[in-house]
Amino acid sequence: MRKVSLLGFALLSLHVFGQTNYLDEYRTWSIGGGIGHTYMLGDLKSFQQGRDQYTRANARGGFTVAGYGHITKFINPFFGLQAALTAGRVTGTPGTQSGNIPGRHFIGSIIVPEINASINFINAFRIGEVRPTKHSFIGSVGYGFAIYDYEVYINNTPTPNYTAGFNWRQAVAVPVGFNYKYRLSNTWDFDAGIKGFFFNSDLIDGTVYGSTNDQVIFTSVGATYNFGTKAGKKESVVYRSPVSDLYEFTASVRRDMDKITKDDDGDGVPNMFDKEPNTAKGAVVDGAGRALDVDGDGIPDHLDEDPFSPKGAKVDSKGRELDSDGDGVPDSRDLEPNTPKGSLVDVRGRAIKSVGGGLNDAFIPQVYFAVNSALVTSANAERLAVVARLLNANPDMKLKVIGHTDKTGGEEYNRRLGQRRADAVVDYLVRNFGIDKSRFTTESAGKSQPLSPRLLNINRRVEFIIQ
């Protein structure tokens, strides 16, 4: 019952919700033909025992060739209309159990123009199927008008009423067929079929015996060319099922909904729009889910230990500006990139020749901190190494270490935070580089001396003054 309901829904959908638009996607017209064999089922039949006794080879009930052609229009994926023509030879013999017609055998010709209704059986049962198919099974039933002629022999001799030449007779035919189609391409199909012709006459074989009308079975192979009214068509509509397409569409919507609602990397951008679906946890991203790189140095901010490098500056794998001579001045600003280690330099990396009047121009790198933190991070290790080299190269040098904060928070809180930052830097230099603690004095400026009114991260710092 569920299949019938879905089938009905699919047909209704085609009619009500844009049948033309759906069919425009596929080829609905086809033309084709093929050849095959006819099998006579009348008072005289094909391939009967004892047929070798008849000397007329073409009237011995053997193999006979026939051909067919058709043009078909599918109204929807389930139903189509077909105009066809089948023509060929038929022959038969009485066999060994044929009552009072022994010795009769015949050869005849038959032509059947027909109009058929075609039913695509596979689409009626592809409920839930979403995989593309290359197979189709088409059933057909219709109405035909047969014209035929025959030559009847008795023991190899023409019957007395035999008239040479064509003497066409007429009969009504009901064709019932079944055709298997295999998609070779979007335009071509291979066909294999069987069709029965049921006549309203018992004279197709030239013999009237009993009360049963004659039938002819036609088996065939052939090819079909599929086409449509618009260019760029896909395959024939017989290989598509609107029910399957509905399932596929629903599944696609479900997948898209999952992409819209799921965020596997937790960056706040749904999978469907996430250009970097494996962003590290905690990374700040843009609207497309790509990790931000504010300074454009190629190192995402969540990995960048110096996220405000000057534009175009060369950085290491952690985003820190390169400082080839280790004087604390990055190469991008260093006018003397080969200063000897331990040299005291100014802000442009130029060596200060003597400790004296030029001492106030000396450059000592600053140390930066995270929000509400006094932890000396690894990003500051190289900066403090520069400070340690300066102190070791100048044993009489003493430094005032001043802690600063940004503008958030109260005065007293920031005073204490600035002091903790200054103490943490001194402790780092003492523990890691062995500098005598007596060479330092510390104080806190709190939030009273900001370097920038907008860049809060620059204000969270510790700076050094030579005493």
Q: Phi and psi at residue 330, in whole multiples of 5°?
A: -60, 150
Rounded CA separation 60/165 (Å): 20
What is the per-residue pLDDT for 96? 62
Which CATH number fits the domain 364-466, given the four candidates 3.30.1330.60, 3.40.710.10, 3.90.950.20, 3.40.640.10? 3.30.1330.60
What is the per-residue pLDDT for 266? 67
Q: Report whether CATH 2.40.160.20 matches the domain 2-247.
A: yes
What is the per-residue pLDDT for 438? 93
Local confidence pLDDT in tens for the 467 residues of the chain: 444 444 454 444 444 444 445 677 789 999 999 999 999 998 888 888 877 777 776 777 788 999 999 999 999 888 999 999 999 999 998 866 555 577 888 889 999 999 999 999 887 666 555 566 899 999 999 999 999 999 888 888 877 665 555 678 999 999 999 999 999 999 999 999 999 999 999 999 888 887 789 999 999 999 999 998 664 568 888 888 776 666 666 777 777 777 677 776 766 677 777 777 777 776 777 767 776 666 667 677 666 667 667 776 777 766 677 776 766 677 677 667 777 766 667 656 676 665 444 455 567 888 999 899 999 988 788 889 888 988 888 888 899 999 999 999 999 999 999 999 999 999 999 999 999 999 999 999 999 999 888 888 889 999 998 88
Give the tokens for residue 277: 């679906």
Query: Do 85 and 114 touch, CB atoms closer than 8 A?
Result: yes
What is the per-residue pLDDT for 2? 44
Give the tokens for residue 445: 């400026």
Would you list the domain boundaries of the chain?
2-247, 364-466
pTM given for the model: 0.53
What is the per-residue pLDDT for 35? 98
What is the per-residue pLDDT for 255? 74
Count of all residues that appear for the chain in the document: 467
Rounded CA separation 162/322 (Å): 111
